[in-house]
Chains A and B, each alone.
Chain A
Amino acid sequence: MTERAVTDRHVAVLAGGLSHEREVSLRSGRRVSAALREAGLVVEEWDADATLVTRLVEHRPAAVVVALHGGAGENGATQSVLEMLGVPYVGADPRACRRAWDKPCAKAELAQAGYATPNWIALPHATFRDLGARAVLDALITRLGLPLMLKPDQGGSALGAHVVREPDELPAAMVGCLAYGDTVLAERFVDGVEVAITVLEESDGPRALPAVEVDPGNGVYDYTARYTAGLTTFHAPARLDPGAAAAAGELAVAAHRLLGLRDFSRTDAVITPDGVAHFLEVNVAPGLTETSLLPMAVECAKSDLGSVFAALVERAVARGAS
């Protein structure tokens, strides 16, 4: 059992919301709330609904932990509201959230800084409609080659993500992907070891926790593989040689810094056999469920979720209202 902190801080954990990831968010919220209570904090779990602003104003929590996945929890909207109300919160500010939330934007930042990321093209539905889907899809394949990873340019939990191995699979994958958003991110599929690297900020700056390796039983880390306990095998730390492990950590810290993130983040990457870490995306409100990767990394680092988030709450409180 974690040693209880000497604090009666009143913390609000925001979870739920109206995004496609509501269910995962509710699970994350319950998990981090329990961990914070274990650490001695007074925690309330609030949905992001029409009562939220009133609650924030009336209850004035010492800090807010945003466990909202997708949409308003990660695109900076909720953080903007918290700043408007002068409520301290854990995590990145609205501007940084927006940069991380937009996957093509985040990839471009990393690529510009010299980090590897799979070649990509992001296109809205309107482009396919206006220029002719067949011609644009052909050009896409010519430019990026196959296999491809298609995903919505915003969002998480692999919702709408498809691996495309044959040209004739592409139209169906595009339609499936565009059901989740208006713009599709097409990425060259890079084969290698899938890892997630959690970054925590401490007094001496951001630090990468050991990478967690993801080994989905069916070969694809899709929604089912993510949230069905047992379908995916995890290795913490990842089975990487020291050089590759260091490269993964360096990439995650670089992503955290380049995008101006704060407190914590989780970078997803692929490590190719030559030891190069390829940036896929970074999450400002990563999953905190029983099957999520950040809690595994925390445990691998010999810490616990309650202590980590209690410390982040203290940082937020010390930082005060932005």
Chain B
Amino acid sequence: MTQAQQPERAPQRSLDPHLHRYARRTAGMTASQIRALFAVASRPEVVSLAGGMPYLPALPMESLAEEVARVVDSEGLTALQYGSAQGTVELREQICEVMALEGISAHPDDVTVTVGSQMALDMVTRIFCDPDDVVLAEAPSYVGALTTFASYQAQVVHVAMDDDGLVPAALRAALGSLRAQGRTPKFLYTVPNFHNPAGVTLAVPRRAEILEICAEHDVLVIEDNPYGLLGFEGQTYPALRACDPVNVVYLGSFSKTFAPGLRVGWALAPHAVREKLVLAAESATLCPPAFTQTVVSRYLATHDWKGQIKTYREAYRERRDAMLDALEHYLPGCTWTHPAGGFYVWLTVPEGLDTKAMLPRAVTQRVAYVPGTAFYADSLGSRQMRLSFCYPTAERITEGVRRLAAVLDGETELLATFGSVGPRAVSGPQAPSPDTA
């Protein structure tokens, strides 16, 4: 008998004495070997095609530094004080001007400023979703939305996309199937422009149809639009909210058009929804940071912010071109999307390969990407990966894709040896955290 005969000599030790107290919604919050691999991506030796980090060197840092100093100097007593839970009036008015660029006519009273649009998404989910409620999301969908839905124990039903974005027939089919089960989704979550991660844009003729279908089935639309002003030819598309101010909650952000470190986003919602959003936001943060709101307001008032967006667009277009050229050259066996704006290319690898399983090999080869499974709630996406072109230089992007080709070669050789083995399960989060991307 090797087991203890005197258990009092062997104190049992759990490293988390609160384990029995956690809510069920924390079930997926575990360490993940996939997520741990992204720690290496922050090293300069690694070409990270993983994170969606805006190219901040394009910002006019000197004049921003002066602007921030002026905020402290002349507006410090309000900028460093608590503020309204809904956000400053000045910024909400300016946000309406920004949204007008995509055809939205809105009143500042219907805007709620949030700590990044991620918080807006969290608030929206909080006020609409009970556990086991169904939400619809594109297939694939933004990983940050999926983690939010999971944290509120909502069930995600994915709806297919093609090169023109969300497929109306697939939306009808999903709604029909749910109706047959006696279920109505709380909302459709969609990123219509330069989709994260798919890189595609919802075709204009489809927009009205999607809205009609949702109205017909009494499904709210959550329109998440962080990339809408980043069309490489300067093109914009009519926002869904511009066509339907009643049944659409619009989420916007300054993270991609200005700077993510400020954490300033917003929700535009019909009056009654906005009232609840403000109360929900108040319970979460009391108020969005007055300081960063003031900085954004001053920036919008004193800088050529439209010119800055143009500068960003040009930087991203050059990088997109470099990535598409490199993919053409190095990865002829793969297929990929051709984004007309935004940050991402969605790559599909040959059958049998598993992008999550080969991530360790990629890290060994000093290149990082996000496996496609991170963007599905149902473990699909094992043949896909998201490639970000927003931050590395064109030369680094080319080198990264060259390394990726070597990774695929190695994995293909393994498959030739052992045969197709199907997708493999790995627990825990599978996407990088923002600071390790």
Contacts and interface: CB of A to CB of B under 8 A. Distances in A.
Interface of A: 16, 18-24, 26, 47, 49, 125, 128-129, 133, 157, 159-160, 171-172, 174-176, 178-180, 192-193, 213, 222-224, 226-241, 244, 271-275, 290-291, 296
Contacts of A179: 357-361, 411, 414
Contact of B11 (A228, A229, A236): A236
A7 B5 CA distance: 45
Contact of A230 (B9, B11, B15): B15
Contacts of A19: 40
A224 B2 contact: no
A236 B427 CA distance: 28
B61 interface: no
B2 A193 contact: yes
B2 A244 contact: yes
Given A239-B10, A273-B1, 4 more contacts: A18-B40, A178-B414, A224-B428, A239-B4
B contact face: mostly helix, strand, loop, or mixed: loop
A22 B19 CA distance: 27
A244 B44 CA distance: 48
Nearest to B20: A230
Interface in B41-73: 43-46
10 smallest CB-CB distances across A and B, nearest first, come from: A230-B16, A239-B4, A227-B31, A23-B39, A172-B421, A223-B33, A230-B19, A229-B15, A229-B16, A171-B418
Contacts of B33: 157, 159, 222-224
Contact of B360 (A160, A172, A174): A160
Given A23-B39, A129-B417, A133-B417, A233 B2 contact: no
A228 B19 CA distance: 11
Interface residues of B, number: 50
B3 interface: yes
A224 B31 contact: yes
A201 to B, nearest CB: 26
Contact of A18 (B5, B43, B417): B43
B357 to A, nearest CB: 6
Contacts of A23: 36, 39
Given A128-B418, A175-B357, A228 B30 contact: yes
A180 B360 contact: yes
Contacts of A290: 15
Given A236-B11, A273-B2, A223 B32 contact: yes
A225 B428 CA distance: 11
Contact of B424 (A172, A235, A271): A172
Contact of B419 (A47, A171, A272): A171
Contact of A175 (B3, B40, B415): B415
B435 to A, nearest CB: 12
B36 A238 contact: no
Contacts of A237: 9-10
Name the residue among B10, B37, B363 with the largest chain A CB count within 10 angstroms. Answer: B10
Given A172-B422, A178-B414, A239 B7 contact: yes
A21 B414 CA distance: 23
Interface of B: 1-5, 7, 9-16, 18-19, 30-33, 36-37, 39-40, 43-46, 354, 357-361, 363-364, 366, 411, 413-419, 421-422, 424, 427-428
Nearest to B415: A175
Contact of B427 (A193, A213, A224): A224
A179 B44 CA distance: 22
Contacts of A21: 36
A235 B416 contact: no
9 contacts: A49-B44, A129-B413, A172-B424, A174-B414, A193-B3, A228-B30, A233-B13, A239-B3, A241-B1
B30 A22 contact: no
Nearest to A160: B360
Contacts of B361: 179-180
Contacts of A180: 360-361, 364
B24 to A, nearest CB: 15
B82 to A, nearest CB: 34
Nearest to B414: A175
A204 B95 CA distance: 73
A75 to B, nearest CB: 14
B416 A129 contact: yes
Contacts of A232: 15
Contacts of A228: 30-31, 428
B40 A22 contact: yes
Contacts of A193: 2-3
B31 A226 contact: yes
A235 B418 contact: no
Given A180-B360, A235-B13, A125 B417 contact: yes
In this complex, the member of A128, A178, A232 whose beta carbon has the largest number of chain B beta carbons within 10 angstroms is A178
A234 to B, nearest CB: 5
Contacts of B30: 224, 228, 231
B360 A236 contact: no
A174 B40 CA distance: 24
Most buried by A among B43, B46, B358: B43
Given A18-B40, A23-B36, A125-B414, A240 B11 contact: no
Nearest to B354: A175
Contacts of A178: 414
A278 B104 CA distance: 70
A136 to B, nearest CB: 10
A94 B4 CA distance: 39
Contacts of A47: 43
